[in-house]
Structure formats: C-alpha cells, structure tokens
Chain A
Amino acid sequence: MPGTLIIAESSGGAAAPVALELLAAARALAEQGGGAVSALAAGDAALGRTLIEHGADAVYLTPAGSLDAGFAETAAAAALATREAADADIVLMGQTSLGRDLAPLMAFRLGTAAAMDCMALTLADGRLRATRSCYGGNANAEVTWRGETQIATLKLKAWDALAPDAGRDGPVTAIEATGEQRVRVIATEAAEASGVRLEDADVVVSGGRGLGDPAAFGALEELARMLGGATGASRAACDLGWYPPSQQVGLTGKTVTPNLYIAVAISGASQHMAGMSGSKNIVAINRDPDANMVQVARFAVVEDYKKIVPALIEAIKKLD
C-alpha cells in the first residue's frame, strides 16, 4: 500500500507549524486507507522525533537548510529520492514560499500535476480528491490526478495539528540526494517590522471606495490604533490614490488573517475577499444589506459609516 510523504519545513531546528498541520492531514488520509505517513525534514534527530510524535511513521532527514525557501531544486532532489524510498504516491507540503516552487517542480519532473492551496482532502479507492478555492474565493474546485503521484500544497492553518504522543515510534534515517541548484541564493532577510505589520496584525480596519472620501481613513486609523491593529484598504481605494498601495488588502495586495477584520464601506468583490477571507471574525459596516461583505460577516451594521465609525470609537472608549 503506497503511502503519503509530507515535506516538513522547520525554522531554527524546530518544526514549522505547517509541518504539524501536514502530519494531521496525512494521518486523516491514513485512516481512510492511505498507507504509512513519511516525513522529509532538514535537520537533526530531535526534529525527526518531534515529527514522529505528531504523526509520522518514518522520518527521512536531509541536511539543515536544504528545504529553505529559494532552494526548491535542492529540495526537489531530496523529495524525489524520499518519495522513492518511502514508496509514497501522495506528496503533501504547505502553501509556503518553498511549497509554491517545490510542488510544481516535482510535479513536472514526475510528469504529474500538483493541486495548489488545498483546503480539504479525501481519499476514495486509494486516490486523492482535493478541494481548492478559485476565482478569488468565489468558487470551489474539486480535482483529482491523472498521473500516479498526487502532489498537493495545503492551505496554512486549514488543519489542526495533532497532540504529540510520546509513545509513538518509528525510524529516523538520513536520505542522500544531490540536485543541481541553478538558482544561487545570495541573501535572505526577514521583513522589517515598522509599527504593526498589516500581515501580522490581530485587528485590521479596512476601507473601500464606498468611503467616498480619502480623509475618512483618518477615523479608520484612529479605530485601528485604539484596537492595537493596522489599517488596510481595498484596491479600488488604493487605485484612487486614497491610501498607500503597500496597505492594499486583496488579490494583488497583502493577505491578512487577523482575529478581527473590520470592513468599512467595502462591498466584498473577490479581488478583496481573496486577501482577507481567512479572517477569523469579520465586522461589516455598510449601507447595503445585500453586500457580500455583510453576508460573510459575523456582525454587521447596516448604516452610513460616517455615523457609525465615530460612534464606535466613542463607545469603545467608554468600555475601558
């Protein structure tokens, strides 16, 4: 019975959160008859042990750094060798900087397909079926594979990691692989944090074309500051020059997943939804009760934002 291989990324020697999510997804497939779960990781035996405890049946180790972003060619050599060694016909990885490159690279080398950013997986008669979002979140597609090996990247935070089980055991072995790395990495640097980064903010307050006035962003900024959050804008608002493009949320801007997203005068076109649909709680302030944003929100106020936003700022002040 062929099994599942996951590509377990790590940071500073510790398993990345997505690695544990992948193990949870792979274990769910194993329960549907998917065979053993193997993991490929770049690091030492302690990292291998963590992966075993979180659901791997076997771990293959490659030198630290060989699964880093930018090293897709090196990673592909290791992943292809591991796929052979582990007899895996399903290969899962995260929709990360590495996964976005590695999945299609492996796929084309094997003459098979990779489904990107999947949010659900099922197994039927030993074959994988994946659900992914497309058209900026307006539609879902379900896909299968024609080729034998089924490669998929998984949406981040779409699976919950399993609790570690110290009683689990399995082999941790080194895998030898060499691949030509034609892309030469010169330097990698973390993004600078200035104030609250939009992508990291717990609270995001965004405005759209419906504001009708660039000055309105002042009130949104005040609200965001009070809540310790960041301010964003829809593409329409940025295109009008009302707000810096660096703060654009959406398909062609930033992707945010805050705990609270307050959408002010934003209708919710897929261009925008693509950048914020991962928000845990959405509040819509919009005059149109039929606006898409109102429909997807947890709370909505159907009223002119000019009346609501200042009142909300006052109301929150009084809470403290």
Chain B
Amino acid sequence: MNIVVCVKQIPDPETPASQFAVDEAAKRVIPAQGIAPVVNPYDPQATEAALRLKDAAGEGRITVVSLGADSARDAIKHALAMGADEGVLLSDPAFENIDSFQTAVALAKAIEKIGDCDLVLMGRAAADWDMGVAPQGVAELLGVPAVTIAKSMTADGSTLTVERVLDDGFQMVEVDLPAVVSISNEFGEPRYPQLRQIMLAAKKTVQVWSAEDLGLEAGETGEANRWLPLEALYIPTVESNVEIIEGDSPEEQAHTLALKLREAKLI
C-alpha cells in the first residue's frame, strides 16, 4: 500500500499569548523570538496511522509531503525519523501566504506527480489557521472520497474501515481506496523517533518541487490569488474585566471568591 502523508510546520501553539505578535499591515504573524516552529500537533498521528497500515500490510511506501518554507524540512524529517520512506518539499516564493484552498491544489498536484498512491493521510486540521478544509479539498481534486477525523482504521484489501469521531459520538464507515483520510488527535500516541531512525532519516531523500514542477499556473498561486482573501489579521482586544480577589489571607480570598461565585449563581 502506497501512502502519502501531508504534514505542515507551524508556529508553536504553546507560544505564550504575551509573545504572540501580528504585523497588521502585512497581515502576517511575526515569529516569536526564540520559539522554533513545530510540526502541526495533529500530523505525527497521521504519520503514525500510515506506519501502522504499512506494518499491517507488510509492504508499501510512505511519502511525506509538506508545503512551506525551507523550515518545513523539519516536519518532513520528523516523519522520516518516525519511519516514513521519502519526502517531498513543495517550496516556492509563489506559495507564500497562499490559503488552504490553494494549498490543497498544490498538494493534489504533488500527489498526482508522486503517482501510484492508494491513500492520502493528513492531520484533521493545521493548528495555525484551523480551517480543516484540505482533506475534502485534496480528495475532491483527486476525484476520490474523503473520510475525516479518524480515530482508528483497518485496511482489508482495497477497503478501508474507519472509526470517526463525531461531535457527540462515533461512526464506523467503509470506503474503497484510493481515498483521503484525516486523522484525529484521538488516534493514539505517535511513535517517538529512535536514534537509529533519526540517523537513517538523514540519508533519506527529500526532493524539492517548485510551483512550475507541479505544473501550477501563475494565476493559481500567490497571495493575490487566494480563494479566501485575507482582509485583516489582528490580535483581538481582550476586554479584561478581571476582578482580582483581594484579602489578607488565602482563607479570606477563598471565602470572598466563594461568595462572589454564589452571588453570580455559578455554584
């Protein structure tokens, strides 16, 4: 079974709010000083899902694809260190500040170029923009079905049985391959790259493809051609209405808090 896993490098979602800054004129997030970008927290689960299917099938090839700046290599390296076989970095100045829809177009082109793909896996959403539209988008562009927010799955020949997480429960679905599946954080702990794997990963190939390599036209890429133009990006003003509970002792503070909560009918 040949699987493509899509991963993304994003600003660390653990960045304290006090260090989060936005360039409102450029409509971009200013990278926090000294806080390295990380692999989108949902993505290692997608890689884990691919590895489990490959292990069960006993054969296959896992290709990791990431669209981003050169730093996105780290997201690819992480998946390679977990056990994926090869990587492709989609990198081009024309990809800067494109939206999730343009990204889906580029990913679909890359998957077609890789060829012979039975299954595409990705995290349920990228935690930076939190849109979650790429799984359906890539599937639609490839002309295959999508199953989203999977917590477990098994393959039987060319049929995939997937357990999905719903807002208020769970759902079992079946789909014939090829297909696109997005993976939930409930999928389970991704394996931790071992030293030997990390060393092996350094020897694995990471190809770099440009917009031209993917056959993308100028009108399909670039910030100016977003499907969902970004008109403004800003840090919302938090009307801090916080009431600090004072007191001469912790007991007094606790007592005052309890009274306030009771008054507000919260307890």
Contact = CB atoms under 8 A, between A and B. Distances in A.
Interface of A: 69-70, 72-73, 96-97, 100-101, 103-105, 107-109, 112-117, 129, 133-136, 138-147, 182-191, 203, 227, 235-236, 251-253, 259-260, 267-271, 273-274, 281, 283-284, 289-290, 292, 294-304, 307-308, 311-312, 314-316, 318-319
B226 A188 contact: no
A251 B127 contact: yes
A236 B144 CA distance: 38
B233 to A, nearest CB: 5
A55 B5 CA distance: 44
A70 B17 contact: no
Given A183-B175, A270-B15, 12 more contacts: A104-B132, A104-B133, A108-B141, A116-B131, A190-B169, A236-B14, A269-B13, A269-B15, A270-B13, A298-B243, A299-B260, A315-B254
Contact of A281 (B18, B164, B168, B264): B264
Contact of A312 (B99, B104, B161, B254): B254
Contact of B129 (A134, A283, A302): A134
A300 B133 contact: no
A227 B135 CA distance: 41
Contacts of A251: 13, 41, 127
B31 to A, nearest CB: 12
A140 B233 contact: yes
Which 5 pairs between the two chains have the least Cβ-Cβ distance?
Answer: A311-B254, A307-B250, A104-B133, A182-B145, A104-B136
A146 B223 CA distance: 12
Given A134-B128, A274-B13, A296-B238, A96 B258 contact: no
A269 B235 CA distance: 14
Interface residues of B, number: 80
A269 B261 contact: no
B158 interface: no
B166 A97 contact: yes
A301 B253 contact: yes
B156 interface: no
A136 to B, nearest CB: 5
B16 A267 contact: yes
Contacts of A203: 266-267
B42 A292 contact: no
Contacts of A184: 173-175
Contacts of B236: 133, 139-140
Interface string B225-267: 1111111111110101111110000110111011111101011
A247 B174 CA distance: 29
A273 B18 CA distance: 13
Contacts, number: 253
B262 A319 contact: yes
A301 B257 contact: yes
Given A129-B231, A139-B236, A301-B253, A105 B20 contact: no
Nearest to B224: A146
A238 B102 CA distance: 35
Contacts of B235: 138-140
Contact of A270 (B20, B168, B228, B264): B20
B174 A289 contact: no
A188 B170 contact: yes
Nearest to B170: A189
B127 to A, nearest CB: 5
Interface string B102-138: 0010000000000000000000000111111101110
A70 B133 contact: no
Contacts of A301: 244-245, 253-254, 257
B137 A70 contact: no
15 contacts: A108-B136, A114-B133, A135-B29, A186-B161, A252-B185, A269-B15, A274-B13, A290-B18, A292-B18, A298-B242, A299-B242, A299-B245, A299-B260, A308-B257, A312-B258
Contacts of A189: 169-171
Given A104-B136, A191-B170, A143 B20 contact: no
A108 B99 CA distance: 13
Contacts of B230: 141-143
Contact of B133 (A97, A103, A267, A271): A103
A140 B18 CA distance: 16
B2 to A, nearest CB: 20
A271 B253 contact: no
Contact of A315 (B233, B244, B251): B251
B148 interface: yes
A142 B257 contact: no
A100 B167 CA distance: 11
